[in-house]
A and B are shown apart, each in its own frame.
Chain A
Amino acid sequence: MKRKISLRINGKPYTDEVEPRLLLIHYLREVAGLTGPHIGCETSICGACTVMLQGRAVKSCTMFAVQADGREIVTIEGLAANGALDPVQQAFWNEHGLQCGFCTPGMIMATKQLLQDNPSPTDLEIRHGLEGNLCRCTGYQHIVNAVKAAAGKAGA
């Protein structure tokens, strides 16, 4: 039996009938057409599916779409405003914080959360803050540089 959900994604309203078992990541990708968040594991380990729900980073592969009913979601597609990149996106670009790019949307959303909670993190705090997001390409070093650069920007 499908259920009706209404939510806001990247500032826009969405209303859809969905199966209760539909995962939020599948709703975002298949129904809402937002393919920025990715699926890397379906077990909550890799973090490629990370989005902001009510302002907090969550892994959308281990949440049902119906649980997002009435909530506010921001995906990677919602970060750049009027064509201007978010400082975190800009920093990932400048610092070469990505290679294949598959983890990047989740990594950037996790960074948003990290910098919200801690605007000037140390290297170790950055690394622990990103524990829940896997990257197989970069060895994380340029990601750490990117987060530091974004933090500097936000603090300036």
Chain B
Amino acid sequence: MATTISKPETLFGKRIRRQEDPRLITGTAVYLDDIKMPGMHHACIVRSPHAAAKIRAIDTAAAAGRPGVVAVFTAKDTGHLGAVPCAASLPGLRVPRHDLLARDRVYYVGHPVAVVVATDRYLARDAAEMVEVDYEPLPAVADPEKALAEGAPAVHPEWPGNVAFTFHQEGGNIEQAFSEAEVVVKQRITSQRLIPTALETRGVVADWRPGENSVTLFSSTQIPHLMRTLVAGILGMPENRLRVVTPEVGGGFGSKLNVYAEEALMAFISMRIQKPVKWVESRRENFTCTIHGRGHVDYFELAARRDGVMLGLKLKLIQDLGAYHQLLTPAIPTLSVLMMPGLYKFQNVSADIVGVFTNCVPTDAYRGAGRPEATHGIERMVDILAAELAMDPVEIRLKNFVGNDEFPYTTPTGLSYDSGNYAAPLRKALEQVDYPALRREQAQAREEGRLMGIGVSTYGEICAIGPSPSMPAGGWESATVKIEPTGKVTVLTGASPHGQGEETTFAQVVADELGVPMDDVLVVHGDTSVVQYGIGTFGSRGTAVGGAALFYALQDLKAKVKKFGAMLLDAPAVILSGGSCVDERTGKSVSFAEVAAAAYHAKRLPPATEPGLVSTHFWEPPNFTFPFGAHVVVSEVDRETGDIRIRRYVAVDDCGKIINPLLVDGQVHGGVAQGLGQALWEQAVYDENGQLITGELTDYALPKAHLMPWIESSHTETPSPVNPLGVKGVGEAGTIGCSPAVVNSVVDALSPLGVRHLDMPLTPEKIWKAIQGGQA
């Protein structure tokens, strides 16, 4: 026992380098493809080269006879298994049965048709080439608007017209808003299909253990527990006989927030061949077969008064779904509708979604998932309105923001914005760039014939997803905290971080709450046999929901620690300070390790107290959180080449309280890079036959180091009242705030030429053509 009381330094808010990095920078981390097992076989999947075709016959004999091949599977073998699941439901939703392997027809390029299993990955690939599939090609349609046109080929023959669902939502009185409007601006705005491109492709290792009558499934996923439930369902096996383990995950961005055919296929194959089997996606497969993001054609109409006050917004949203529904496919555009009012206080909205089947790989959640599309829409429309009224785009925003005294604020789409100060980040960003001086410089540049643009976006997003009633399978998160007999602390989180850094931020929270050194805290995740059920990491929820669960588990545990501390010190009550229980009357203390030992040795127990120091908490959030911010982009366009130079990129993001500013900056930078990718370079291009033209990294323009501007990132901090940490989530902010700021800037640069709108990506060719058109 000691008698010194040191005032603990809090780690909340400190720039702390990550706990997870030592294994990552030394090459010792274990990713999926690093897993090796005795007797492990390799699978290679035969995929359709056609976007639409009938399968007349499949001949696997030649492949089966190749060296090293142990089995070839087709739909004849897997037809009895369940289908790839879609968890989202909407009234009247048409759900095509999504078989693990195509039966008699293929629906997109890359559609899995057969699986070849061999002793070696080269041999598996060799043999896959020998599987002969007799296809009868059919007309395909790859563009959602063409798919809706009269006479378009039916993606699913049973549903001519290609409409998977329609969805209507409205709030306020939209007709009245438009009848009272003094000005109405309309624009068709697209958010192109994007390929998430986690640098690690997907992969699965399945290991059937006959003695245990169980399968261990290693998968590069964001949702281990949901995967366990859903894959067990596909296979018809008891869920507790399936263990899902996520090794190190090399990026997800939503593309691994899913259950794909391969997870169930590999588990099935491992049971059939009685050996472990590995499948690792090639980059081409990743581009053709893993979900894409976005894929919107949006028709907006914005009603306003001449003084710039916005009255109402109408949206017709055409969502390119692809050929099937993956886990959340049809739900994604409904998020766009929820966020369509942005940060503005007009109370009248009307939205109609048409979900359209195309002969393409399904779209689903990609970083932002529906909110970047919404933000791009409203933020472009505000600029278009400002241009129409010859108002400053900053002035019109300030005029329409929800006021600081209006929180919690109910939107016409039924959300309750938790907290905000929307003008604060905008004013901070404008001050940083000296906005009036920039406008003066722009006027001068225009006189010189230079094309300089200043673009602003003020975005809001919906994070910490989310309350369970809004989710198909639970929106809570879980945490277990165990103080081990030696005083070391183990956290089991139901979240499944894969680069976000919660092994560090959660350790910071634990260290602050318990007063132990961060290095004494181990954060464990991603193993369904070890960690209590959890929902996973997506929708900027890891810290805002999982962190809150952790916080509450810690409170329970602290109470128990204090009971043991008080018992050891013979005190009526103790406080926790500096890693010890302290009797404030005497200054006497017992260390954490002493308390932990006493709790497990259990020679004596406090009244009505069980041995051990373990607490589990499942936390149900009462609401989403609503981060916001302002991004300002200064650009200059080359008249001769159409090339865009980003001169300045200023991001002021408000994600509530910040646990680790270093990691938050990283999230913002990475988010902006993906937003900039969409704004300037990236686009998944299918030709009219449904062939993916951008099928490799050679053809898909991912942001590279020399293309990225310096991002000037800073913050305002408006705590969220939704959770005890006051955090809101930051994983998607950069992506959501970015694209409209960039496009607004470039359109501003080209506005003297009469350009009012440009769709992404803003390739030099597109800009050059706009300049030529504008000058003509």
A residues contacting B by CB (< 8 A) are 19, 21-22, 26, 29, 34-43, 45-46, 48, 75-77, 79-80, 85, 89, 92-94, 96, 98-105, 108, 123-124, 126-128, 130-131, 133-144
Q: How far is the CA of A134 from the CA of B280 in the complex (A)?
A: 20
Task: Name the A residues within 8 Å of B501 (CB-CB).
Answer: 99
The reply to whether A142 and B30 contact each other, CB–CB distance below 8 Å, is no
Q: How far is the CA of A104 from the CA of B26 in the complex (A)?
A: 9
The reply to whether A93 and B200 contact each other, CB–CB distance below 8 Å, is no
15 A-B pairs within 8 Å (CB atoms) are namely A35-B27, A43-B697, A45-B698, A46-B283, A76-B25, A94-B17, A96-B17, A96-B663, A101-B250, A101-B499, A123-B710, A127-B705, A127-B708, A136-B670, A137-B670
Whether B249 sits at the interface, judged by CB under 8 Å, is: yes
**13 additional contacts (CB under 8 A) given A48-B199, A99-B500:** A40-B200, A40-B697, A77-B27, A89-B26, A100-B251, A102-B250, A130-B706, A136-B199, A136-B251, A136-B253, A136-B702, A141-B708, A141-B711
Q: How far is the CA of A128 from the CA of B33 in the complex (A)?
A: 30
Whether B401 sits at the interface, judged by CB under 8 Å, is: no
Task: Name the A residues within 8 Å of B702 (CB-CB).
Answer: 134, 136
Question: Which listed residue (B23, B250, B499) contacts A38, Cβ 8 A?
Answer: B250
Q: How far is the CA of A108 from the CA of B26 in the complex (A)?
A: 10
Task: Name the A residues within 8 Å of B759 (CB-CB).
Answer: none
Task: Name the A residues within 8 Å of B122 (CB-CB).
Answer: 19, 21-22
Task: Name the A residues within 8 Å of B198 (CB-CB).
Answer: 100, 102, 136
Using A99-B499, A100-B498 as known contacts, say yes or no to A139 and B673 having CB atoms under 8 A apart.
yes
The reply to whether A128 and B706 contact each other, CB–CB distance below 8 Å, is yes
The reply to whether B29 and A101 contact each other, CB–CB distance below 8 Å, is yes
B residues contacting A by CB (< 8 A) are 17-18, 20-31, 33-34, 121-122, 197-201, 248-253, 280, 282-283, 498-501, 662-663, 665-666, 669-674, 696-698, 702-706, 708, 710-711, 734
Question: Which listed residue (B25, B34, B253, B662) contacts A104, Cβ 8 A?
Answer: B25
- Residue from B25, B499, B666 having most chain A Cβ neighbours under 10 A: B25
The reply to whether B199 and A36 contact each other, CB–CB distance below 8 Å, is no
Q: How far is the CB of B69 from chain A (nearest CB, A)?
A: 17
Q: How far is the CB of A39 from chain B (nearest CB, A)?
A: 7
Q: How far is the CB of B634 from chain A (nearest CB, A)?
A: 17
The reply to whether A77 and B199 contact each other, CB–CB distance below 8 Å, is no
Task: Name the A residues within 8 Å of B23 (CB-CB).
Answer: 101
Q: How far is the CA of A134 from the CA of B674 in the complex (A)?
A: 12
Question: Which listed residue (A34, A35, A137, A143) contacts B251, Cβ 8 A?
Answer: A137
Task: Name the B residues within 8 Å of A26 (CB-CB).
Answer: 121
The reply to whether A142 and B26 contact each other, CB–CB distance below 8 Å, is no
Q: How far is the CB of A99 from chain B (nearest CB, A)?
A: 4
| CB-CB nearest in chain A for B15 | A96
- Residue from B23, B33, B671 having most chain A Cβ neighbours under 10 A: B33
Task: Name the A residues within 8 Å of B703 (CB-CB).
Answer: 139-140
Question: Which listed residue (B26, B199, B201) contacts A103, Cβ 8 A?
Answer: B199
| CB-CB nearest in chain B for A90 | B25
Task: Name the B residues within 8 Å of A99 (CB-CB).
Answer: 251, 499-501, 666, 670
Question: Which listed residue (B21, B201, B500, B696) contacts A98, Cβ 8 A?
Answer: B21
Q: How far is the CA of A139 from the CA of B498 in the complex (A)?
A: 16
Q: How far is the CA of A142 from the CA of B668 in the complex (A)?
A: 11
The reply to whether A127 and B697 contact each other, CB–CB distance below 8 Å, is no
Task: Name the A residues within 8 Å of B121 (CB-CB).
Answer: 26
Task: Name the B residues within 8 Å of A102 (CB-CB).
Answer: 31, 198-200, 248, 250-251
Q: How far is the CB of A79 from chain B (nearest CB, A)?
A: 8
| CB-CB nearest in chain B for A132 | B704
Question: Which listed residue (B21, B248, B734) contacts A93, Cβ 8 A?
Answer: B21
